[in-house]
Chains A and B, each alone.
Chain A
């Protein structure tokens, strides 16, 4: 199968003016301006197959949104090549734009003062959707997202989560084949996050759409993405299955142990992360896990013991902290 999204050494560099603080520097900058180049995205390469749901992870400023903007044609790359659905995004051809969508958690395209249904009608006109197809898709999205009682209210009267749901419906009316979702659950409560996740899964299943998703909520990534791409300082740190990321980068395991007494000294077995009565949680170096669990069982009156991978947030944090630059492609 040929890739639907293809990046080859894609880069985006911004030239930003720099100046010291103070009046002297201010006057000096009138005669000699200094710039520095910020490599927002630096020779990023990856491919995504049709129908894949891929998590695009990284800390703030890592280059995730810049990459999404280049892939959707909003930004011209400084270097490298990219193709989405066989198009060069920066050319912004209407045939290309009709097949993609970019949903940004902090941006909206619905008319603020009018009910969402009016904006949907505008989308129909923008994307030249045949009326019957439009009505069918609109009704389907309204049902899937459970927004029937929201679409008749002016958008300004909706809560953040409600607005996000009607926004997503608007962004998908033209049935895009590629979805770029930039923090789609930003600021939403847990229930709303879960609904949006379920919706993305269902949309992907029904239409075979390809999804590239950024999110700071690891629950989004765990629920939706089998594969993740981790980016930091504009470079890809990891590209592979989520489970492999944990395997690859987690230096520790979490050992949960329930004892018959609460007064045991467990520091010699590993770092005690928490204690809740007789239940202790330890962080143990991955290579020593087998040995530590054996010692715990031998030395102490153990009622229960389990070994888990650390939370994905901890692994990601560890990856960023480590700043490992080698690309692990699978």
Chain B
């Protein structure tokens, strides 16, 4: 346990150091990422205004709050992508990770967690600017602020499990870009990334209930943005824990099966 903590903290530190080397690139990346929710926000605010001030209970102010928190949640749930898995397996770099007496997933979790420190520091001025410009209506209770902290880290872990599972397909075939794209399309629809889930047709909302996606976007955003009792919030955090546990078991099973397929291509 002490060893793992030391490992996580060291990797965390390495990640922060590495990311600060590329802070300008990070900033441009983040500005590009911010464009997506700003477009959604402008479109939905316009629709809300045209419909007399709200759509499905969302006013321009609550839309602004939703998409502003969206930018933070999106940055928090950036994880090692399947494309990264594909790259490291195809190039053979994964061999070096496999030689270490520590599961490679630990590195992914620790490194990307460390990145968040840099990401949040860089996000703060952007978030402040967006808040001043779009004037979000944001009135969370104290327990929601605490819950939000746990919700975004849980979202990070759920997404890590999901994308690792997806990435491990690369052990079987090194051309899996199409499968990844399908996954991201589903995530866009069923996660609340495109639009708050409550604005989606009932059938989509029902289907989303059986999927993990909304627990990585819609729920953490809502913890801070929507009126929510402490009990409702704890229920949601419990669902996140359930998906983390399911993901972890799936990753372990998939790993055991897939690592045997590793052919150490490219060296």
Contact = CB atoms under 8 A, between A and B. Distances in A.
A75 B263 contact: yes
Given A74-B95, A107-B95, A126 B101 contact: yes
A128 B98 CA distance: 17
B102 interface: yes
Interface stretch (B13-21, B35-43, B243-251): B13-21
A98 B99 CA distance: 9
Contacts of A107: 92-93, 95-96, 267
A106 to B, nearest CB: 6
A259 interface: no
A69 interface: yes
B101 to A, nearest CB: 4
Contact of B102 (A14, A65, A94): A94
B14 A74 contact: no
Nearest to B8: A125
B165 to A, nearest CB: 20
Contacts, number: 73
A266 interface: no
Interface residues of B, number: 25
| Majority secondary structure, B binding face | helix
B100 A97 contact: yes
Contact of A118 (B7, B14, B22, B262): B14
A73 interface: yes
B98 A104 contact: no
B110 to A, nearest CB: 10
A104 B267 contact: yes
Contact of A127 (B14, B21, B93, B101): B101
B102 A126 contact: yes
Contacts of A119: 14
Nearest to A123: B100
Interface in B79-101: 92-93, 95-96, 98-101
Interface in A113-152: 113-114, 118-119, 121-122, 124-128
B229 interface: no
B98 A74 contact: yes
Residue among A69, A75, A125 having the largest count of chain B Cβ atoms under 10 Å? A125
Contacts of A100: 99
Contacts of A95: 101
B80 to A, nearest CB: 15
A72 B6 CA distance: 25
A29 to B, nearest CB: 14
A114 B95 contact: no
B11 interface: yes
A111 interface: yes
B100 A114 contact: no
A121 B95 CA distance: 20
A197 to B, nearest CB: 22
A102 interface: yes
B92 A114 contact: no
Contacts of A76: 260, 262
A109 interface: yes
Interface in B1-38: 3, 6-7, 9-11, 14, 17-18, 21-22
Interface of B: 3, 6-7, 9-11, 14, 17-18, 21-22, 92-93, 95-96, 98-102, 260, 262-264, 267
13 contacts: A14-B263, A69-B264, A73-B99, A74-B95, A74-B98, A74-B264, A76-B262, A96-B101, A97-B101, A107-B93, A109-B99, A114-B18, A125-B3
